[in-house]
Structure 1
Amino acid sequence: MTAPTDSLEDRELVERCRAGDANAWTALVARYQRLVYAIVIRMGLDEHVAADVFQAVFEKLVQHLPKLREPDRLQAWVVTTAKREGLAARRHGQRQVSMSRPDDESDSRPAEEWDIADDSPGAEQQLDDLQQLHRLRLGLDRLDERCRELLLLVFRDDEERVGYDEVSRRLNLPVGSIGPTRSRCLGKLRKLLP
């Protein structure tokens, strides 16, 4: 009996894809789809361009799959290719769009007041952040269900963040054991991070 394709390492997925396994290809695309979209969106491009880049990346992967020398470094290949395709899309878009200075009457503000500078982190920092986030998602996917649920409940960044009383209720854990359990789960996660 073969292992489910979504739990396979990249090397094994690539080997199955080379052998013509459609389920392996579906799993491979699903594994890296969010990463490709995130890279392109972080570059400031819209979702339509992201869809084009996604398609271009996976078309190139189909072409390069038979000669891919280091299948275990597939993530790096996908990131690099997405970044290159995104930059190409940006250059192509810049050739088609011009930006004029506000010297006409359509905006009465002086040119110094136009906020054109981008304060966002540089591309390398964004790429590093995305890669870390992807590694974290892979690690969370490999954790047992109880640890994954606990960590996702405790470390939420949004308004849906819950307190220990609610975590205790949802997971049927005593409040006093949440901290030690969280610590053990984080230890497991560290071991699983690629």
Structure 2
Amino acid sequence: MDAVTPEDHKQLMARIASSRDKAAFAALFGHFGPRVKAYLMRSGSAPDSAEELAQEAMVMVWRKAESFDPSQASVSTWIFTIARNKRIDAYRRMNRPELDENDPALVPDAPTAPDDAYADGEVSQAIRAAVETLPEEQAEMLRKAFFEDKAHSEIAAETGLPLGTVKSRLRLAIGRMRKQLKEFEE
């Protein structure tokens, strides 16, 4: 049977849906297979890719034939919509590469060795102690700049001090901290 009219297409779909009629599917495939491939190629798919996508679309027609509703769309509209969706899915897969599980950004950090954790704790304590020895105006600038992550201009606006004063106090605070923490630089 050579499917040429929309009514013939409906009958073929009904036979595929009701009894998995292979002859009806072959006729439908013979009619729509080349047209779907041509449509996919016009849509930008390479010939090999268009062939594969057309095959996938027609397999979907076979599997989902019972879900075809002639009151919603014609057979050709339904088939070309499936093909279009297959093309979109393939495009999305192509533009969203597989994750490389060995990517350093995805590998969790190794647990901190106990001696390193202890040393980190000692450094943290030394920094806190060094900040406590600073004059209050320098310690305040240091806290705002480093712990609150504020820009120098933000600190100046917030405190009402000139920008140069903020920078001078930070420079003095960092110089004093450096002297006190010299043993940890090694």
TM-score tier (shorter):
0.3 to 0.5
Using structure 1 for the length normalisation, give the TM-score.
0.43
Using structure 2 for the length normalisation, give the TM-score.
0.44
